[in-house]
Every structure is written in structure tokens, then in C-alpha cells.
Amino acid sequence: MAFYDGLFDSLGFRESCDAEKVDGSVNMADLLAKMKGEEVEAPWWDVPFPSLDNLHEACDALPRSRDFTEAVKDGFLAIKDTLKFVLDPLTQPLSWLLDGALYTVSIMPWWVVFIAIVFTAYKVSRSMPITSFVAAAMLWFLYIDYYDSTIQTLAIIFVCTFISVTIGVPIGIAMSRRDWLERLFIPLLDMLQTLPTFVYLIPLIFLFDVTESKLYGIAIILYAIVPVVRLTNLGIRLVDKDVVEAANAYGMTSRQKLFKVEIPLALPNIMAGINQTIMMSLAMVVIASLVSAPGLGVDVLRGIRALEIGPGFVAGFNIVLLAIMLDRVSKAALARINATQDV
């Protein structure tokens, strides 16, 4: 007998409860008790929480928890075709960018890519130790034949970081200018930042084909865009009000204040956001290997599936090495910006 039977009987809802019978499923304890002619009575202190399933046991007219999850699924499937119709053309350029970047790095000679990466590292960091570290890391990837996987991962990170910054910085600027927009975006950013990484993939698998690059590209961008939006908003809001008032006194327009005063002063915070976006892109690109994202994540996944300790461990070490490489270069760029502003 369900715990809440007496409650529904006392409220006079018994006829309504019995009017809508479903499958009449019972648990094993109740079934065995009925076969023995006994009734399962819970002790008085073992009061079950009035959850959907517990209430359904006493009143068949009430939904079960699986009815709730089925309703969520049916609601998503009902709008899936409309979402796909709207999102397909909007996200197709992302597939072109990712496929183009992967194709480009695949046809370029290794030495051209090596020189380009080392030169970029030097131009960004202006540090010989960091440039030497990047060169040594790239030589390591080449030496152990993980160059192709590494360069694919780098290509995806560069594309997704570029798009995240291109979209995220204007959103952060808009949030800093309008409080109502900040109040609107903060809950969304909180959700994107706390949502488990695997959950990003669930709706995307139903919306896009697993072979489409935009499937994992959208997941990476949604996961990685949050820091650059938050820190851009924070950086511009932290600009000294006296400096802004001085700019107003000189008769600067809003555009001039933004590009000549606020963004330069907020650049350290923006660069810190870009650094975190790069790191989060790398974290998500490994998870995205579950939905056909190429790169080092595939090697890790293969090691897990086939229980190959060596290849999986080496691939994981290479991801760590790549993360350190990207982190050191981006932090060196941030240090240069801070040093310039302190002068």
C-alpha cells in the first residue's frame, strides 16, 4: 500500500485517482508481498518524500518522473526541425572554417607549419625562452609521430577561439554599457559555465549530423565563450571613472572613448579572458572527440576504448604539453600589455 493513500482518501480524491489507470506497475517488494498475501507496511519514521513517483503510487492520475522526462524529450523533438531549419544556414560558415583550417594544415609541409607557429609564438610573447619551449614541444610532437593529431587540435582551437573572441568581446562591451543586458546575460553565462561538458553534446547530436564539423564547433564555442564575455564586461566596468570623465571633457564621442580609452585600459582583463577561452577550448576539443572531432582527443579515446595504456598516456601528456604551450604564450602576451600600461 502506498504511503500517501490515506492522504488522497481523506481529501476525497480517490475516485479521481482511480479514474485514470496507467500500466499499474509495482515494485518487486509489493509483488512478492501480494503473492504471499501480505501487505508491505513501512515503519512510521520512514516517511517518503512526496516525489512524483511516490505520489503516483497512491494516485494513478498523477504523472511519474519518467512522464516528466518524456515530456521534455517530446517538447525538444517537436521543435527540432524548426531549430535545424534556422540554425543550419547560420552555422554552416563554422563548418567551412573548421574544414578549411583542417585541410590547410593537412596539405602544408611540416616545416612551414613549424616555422609559422614558432614565429607567431615569438611575435606574441617576445620571449626567447617561451619561443624555445614552443619549438621544442613542436619537435617532440614531430619526433613521436603525433604531429598530425596535434596540428588538427591546434587548428580547431584557433578557429573556435577566434570566433569566441569575435562574438564574445562585443557582447561583453554591450553588457558593460547596459545594466539590463548584463542582468539578462549573467544567468545564461552561469548556465553555460556550470553545465557539464557532455551535456553540450546531447541536443547538438539531434540537430546536426555527427559528421558535420559544426556539431563539435558549436559545443566548443558555447563552452569557451564565457570567460571572454565576463572579463570584457568586467574590464570595461573597472575603467577609472575619472579617466572617462576626462575623455568626456575633451569632447570624445562614445566610439572614440570605447576604442581610445576604455578598450586599451580594459585590455589586460580582455587578454586574461582570451587566455581562459583558449584553455577551455582545448578542454572541450578533447571531449568533442566523442562526436568526430579530430585531434589528440581521438588518440585518448582510442586508448580508453582499446585499453591501450601507452598510446592513451602519451596522448594525454601531449595535451598537457599543448596546454602549457598555449598558456605560456598567451600569458606572455598579457604580461607585455601590462608592462606597456605601467610605463
Burial class (CB in 10 A: 0-12, 13-18, 19+), 227: buried
Dist CA 149 CA 147 (whole Å): 6
For residue 48, pLDDT beyond 90: no
C-alpha count within 13 angstroms, C-beta hemisphere, residue 9: 7
Q: CA triplet 330, 332, 338: central angle to 5 degrees?
A: 105
Global confidence as pTM = 0.82
What is the model's pLDDT at position 242?
Answer: 87
**Between the CA of residue 181 and those of 178, 185, 189, 238, 242, what are the distances in Å?**
5, 6, 12, 17, 24
Query: By the 8 A CB rule, do 250 and 307 touch?
Result: no
What are the tens digits of pLDDT across the range 314-337?
A: 988 999 999 999 999 988 888 887
Domains of the chain: 5-63 (no CATH), 80-342 (1.10.3720.10)
Confidence grade of residue 305 (pLDDT, cut at 50, 70, 90): confident
| pLDDT single digits (tens) 99-155 | 999 999 999 999 999 999 999 999 988 889 999 999 999 999 999 999 999 999 999
